[in-house]
Amino acid sequence: MSGLTIAQKIIKAHLVEGEMIKGSPIGLRIDQTLTQDATGTMAYLEFEAMGIPRVKTELSVAYIDHNTLQNGFMNADDHLYIRTCAKKYGLYFSRPGNGICHQVHLERFGVPGKTLIGSDSHTPTGGGLGMLAFGAGGLDVAVAMGGGAYHITMPEMVRVNLTGKLNDWVSAKDVILEVLRRLSVKGGVGRIIEYGGEGVKTLSVPERGTITNMGAELGASTSVFPSDENTRLFLAAQGRAEQFVELSADEDAEYDLVIDIDLSTLVPAAACPHSPDNVKSIEEIGAIKVDQVCIGSCTNSSFVDLMKVAHILKGKTVNEGVSLSIAPGSKQVYNMLAACGALSWMIDAGARILESACGPCIGMGQSPQSAGVSLRTFNRNFLGRSGTKDAQVYLVSPETAAISALTGVLTDPRTLGAMPEFPMPSVFAVNDNMIAKPASVEDAAEVEVVRGPNIKPFPESRPLEESISCECILKVGDNITTDHIMPAGAKILPYRSNIPYLSNFCFEVCDEEFPARAKEKNGGIIIGGENYGQGSSREHAALVPLYLGVKAVIAKSFARIHAANLVNAGILPLTFANPEDYDALSLGDKLVISDARACIKEGREIVLSANGKNIKLVSSLSGRDIDIILAGGLLEYTKAN
C-alpha cells in the first residue's frame, strides 16, 4: 500500500463518514471555524435556527473585517449582532480594526494538522501553516459549529514540486501566479494542491500563506504546505511553540498530477484584466501608465511584505499621477511597522494608510477612476469588483506595486538591484486585547443577542417539486463569478443580512433587468457555461436566487463551493450531458423537467424538454445531497436529522 499525502493524513485523522476513495462523498470532523462580517450574520442566523446552545468545535472565531465602512446603521448593527452571538454561543470575537480574518488566524489561531472551514473562500490561507482549511458557505459553517461534519467529495491530489530559490525581488505572489498561468481558474476544481520539494524550505509561513490563499483562484478544494522547521519558528515567534506539529507527505505518496516549478526561473508577473489566470510577465506587459496602487488584502499584507514596501518607498515620493493606499493585514503588523519606523517611511512617501481590513479588495472604498489602471496586491480582478466597471485591474506582488507607485508606470522590481535581507521576526509583538472572549457556559444565558432592523430572516426554501415547468430567466457565459451573481462593494455589502433588499442587485453586472424579470415570472431556471459560480464562498449568491424563485441552475460545469451552496439553499444544480446543448437554449424558452423529484430521488435519467427537443442532463449529487435537495435545503434537512 502506498503512503499518504499531507492532505490524506489530515483527512484520515478527521474522517467520520465515507471512505477515502477519489470522487466519493466524505464527511470530516471540523476542529475550527471562522466567519467574517459579510457572511457572518447569515451564518449565525442559521446557527440560531438550529437551536444549539453553544458551539461544539475546539475553536470558533467571528471576525469583523469586510463591512468596516460605517456608512449608516446597517454594518454597526450587524457587528453588534455578531458580537452578542459570539459572546452567547461560545466564539472568540475579533473586533473591528484587529485585522483581516486570514492574516489574524494565521498569526494567532491556526494549528498544523487541524481542520478549518470558514465562510470565506480564502480560508485555505491556513494551509500555509499545514492546516486543511476549506472555504465554505455560511450554512456549512453553522452546521460545523453545531458539531456536524463537513461534507465534500474526496478530491484528487496534485503535488507542486518546488526546487531552487526565488531570485531578488521575485516573490511568493509570482509563484502562485505561475501556478494559475499553468492550470487556469478551473484547473484546481476537485483537487487539493499540495506543495513539496526542497524549494519549500526557502519559503516562510506568510509566503506560503500567500500561495495557499490564491489557491482559491484555481478553484481548488484547498492548498497545503508541510509543517516543518519554518512552521515551528513562526509559531514560536507568535508565542505558540507548543502548538507545533511536524507534518509531511510520505516519500511514496501518490499524486494524480505532479507539477515541477524551479523557483529560480520565475520572474515578476501580473494577472491582467479581468481574470487571475490571465498571467504575463511584467516585461511582456510593458511600461503601461498606472493610476492607482493598492497594497494589502489577505494575500499580501504580512509584516515582511510591508517591510519590503517600506524599504522601496523610503526617502522617495509617490508619482504625482498615482494614488497609493496601504492596508496592514492586522493590528500586529500595523503596530510593528509603527514601532520600527517603517510606517513613517510610507507616510512620508505619500501613501494613504488604511485600516487593517479588507477594504478595496472587497470594493469598500478606493475605487479607481474611470478606465483607470490599478495595480493591486489582491487575489481577484474580476470585472467591476473594484467598484469601477471599466477599470483595468492588475494583480501584482507588493514589490512590483511599490516600485510602480514611484515610477508611475508598471515596473519590474528587479531594476532596484540587489535586495537586502528581510528576515521574519524571531518575536512578533503579541497583543490580543482586540479579541473578545466568549461568556462562560454559566453566564451565557444572561447574554442578550441584539438584532437590528436591517437583519431579516433566512429566506424560505421549499422541497423539490414533483416536476419543474418554467422559463429560462437568464442565460450567462463561462466563468461567471459570485461577484457577477451577487456583487460586493460599499453600496451593497451593508445589506448582506437583508436578502429582500439584496435581490434588487442580483446579476446586475450581467443583466440589470434580471431581478424584475425573476419577480415577474415567479422565478425560473438559469442557464450557465463552464465554471459557473467561481470566486467567493458567499452563500448570498445562492440565497438571493432562492428568494427570487430560481428552481434550478443548468450549467456546463460548476465551481465547488457554489454548487454546494446551491444544494444547501435547495436549488437544483444540473449539468449538460452534452455541453453543446447549451447553445440550443435562449432567454425566455419554456423549460420542463418532468418527474424531477422522482428522477433525483431514484437516480433516473434527467431530461429537459425545450423547443421541441429533449436534452439530457446530469446530476452529480451524492446521497446526502439528494436528501438535502428533497428536503428543501440544508437547514430543513439538519432540523429533521
Q: Residue 548: count other Cβ atoms within 10 Å of its Cβ.
A: 23
Domain boundary among 265, 299, 324: 265
The three three-digit cell numbers of residue 564, written as one number? 454546494
Strand order in the sheet with 352-353: 279-281, 269-271, 392-395, 373-376, 292-295, 323-326, 352-353
Residue 580 makes CB contacts below 8 A (sequence gap 6+) with none
Pair 504, 614 in one domain: yes
Task: Mark out the alpha helices in 420-559 (DSSP H runs).
Answer: 441-444, 482-485, 499-502, 514-520, 540-547
The three three-digit cell numbers of residue 212, written as one number? 495557499
Point out the catalytic residue in the list 31, 37, 78, 120: 120
Could you list the residue range(s) of the whole structural domain that residue 525 is in?
Answer: 468-640
The answer as to whether 188 is a domain residue is yes
Pair 502, 551 in one domain: yes
Pair 500, 486 in one domain: yes
Q: Is 551 helix (H, G, I), strand (E, B) or coil?
A: strand
Rg (CA), the chain: 23
| Residue-wise pLDDT tens digits, 497-521 | 999 999 999 999 899 999 999 999 9
Q: What is the mean pLDDT of residues 17-31?
A: 97
Backbone CA torsion sign across 351, 100, 544, 185 = positive
The answer as to whether 79 is a domain residue is yes
Q: What is the pLDDT of residue 69?
A: 86
| Residue-wise pLDDT tens digits, 230-281 | 999 999 999 999 999 999 999 999 999 999 999 999 999 999 999 999 999 9
Query: Strand pairing partners for 481?
Result: 534
Q: Is there a catalytic annotation at residue 260?
A: no
Q: What is the mean pLDDT of the chain?
A: 96
Residue 363 has pLDDT above 80, yes or no: yes
Domain boundary among 372, 395, 413: 413
| Residue-wise pLDDT tens digits, 565-593 | 999 999 999 999 999 999 999 999 999 99
Q: Is there a catalytic annotation at residue 597?
A: no
Q: What is the pLDDT of residue 568?
A: 95
Q: Is there a catalytic annotation at residue 536?
A: yes
The answer as to whether 434 is a domain residue is no
Residue 344 makes CB contacts below 8 A (sequence gap 6+) with 338
CA distance 80 to 497: 13
Pair 324, 257 in one domain: no
The answer as to whether 438 is a domain residue is no
* CA proximity to 80, closest of 41, 33, 48: 41
Residue 390 has pLDDT above 90, yes or no: yes
Pair 621, 476 in one domain: yes
| Residue-wise pLDDT tens digits, 161-172 | 999 999 999 999
The answer as to whether 484 is a domain residue is yes
Q: What is the pLDDT of residue 517?
A: 97
Q: Which residue type sits at 262? A: D
The answer as to whether 304 is a domain residue is yes
Pair 373, 227 in one domain: no
Pair 55, 39 in one domain: yes
Residue 141 banded pLDDT, cuts 50, 70, 90: very high
Q: What is the pLDDT of residue 488?
A: 85
The three three-digit cell numbers of residue 143, written as one number? 452546521
Pair 233, 85 in one domain: yes
Pair 78, 130 in one domain: yes
Pair 300, 350 in one domain: yes
* CA proximity to 499, closest of 536, 561, 532, 542: 542
Q: What is the mean pLDDT of residues 113-133?
A: 98
The answer as to whether 295 is a domain residue is yes
Count of the separate structural domains present in the chain:
3
Residue 433 makes CB contacts below 8 A (sequence gap 6+) with none
* C-alpha 586, offset from chain centre: 32
**DSSP assigned state of 391:** -
| Residue-wise pLDDT tens digits, 621-630 | 999 999 999 9
Q: What is the mean pLDDT of residues 545-567?
A: 96
Burial class (CB in 10 A: 0-12, 13-18, 19+), 554: buried
Domain boundary among 245, 265, 285: 265
Point out the catalytic residue in the list 297, 397, 497, 536: 536
More confident site: 536 or 599: 599
Q: What is the pLDDT of residue 1?
A: 64
Q: Is there a catalytic annotation at residue 66?
A: yes
Q: Is there a catalytic annotation at residue 65?
A: yes
Pair 315, 230 in one domain: no
Point out the catalytic residue in the list 14, 380, 414, 484: 380
Q: Is there a catalytic annotation at residue 252?
A: no
Residue 104 banded pLDDT, cuts 50, 70, 90: very high
Point out the catalytic residue in the list 14, 538, 560, 562: 538
Point out the catalytic residue in the list 14, 66, 79, 451: 66
Tell me the CATH number at 551: 3.20.19.10
Point out the catalytic residue in the list 14, 37, 60, 65: 65
Q: What is the pLDDT of residue 459?
A: 86
Residue 433 has pLDDT above 90, yes or no: yes
Pair 505, 630 in one domain: yes
The answer as to whether 428 is a domain residue is no
Residue 460 has pLDDT above 90, yes or no: no
Tell me the CATH number at 43: 3.30.499.10
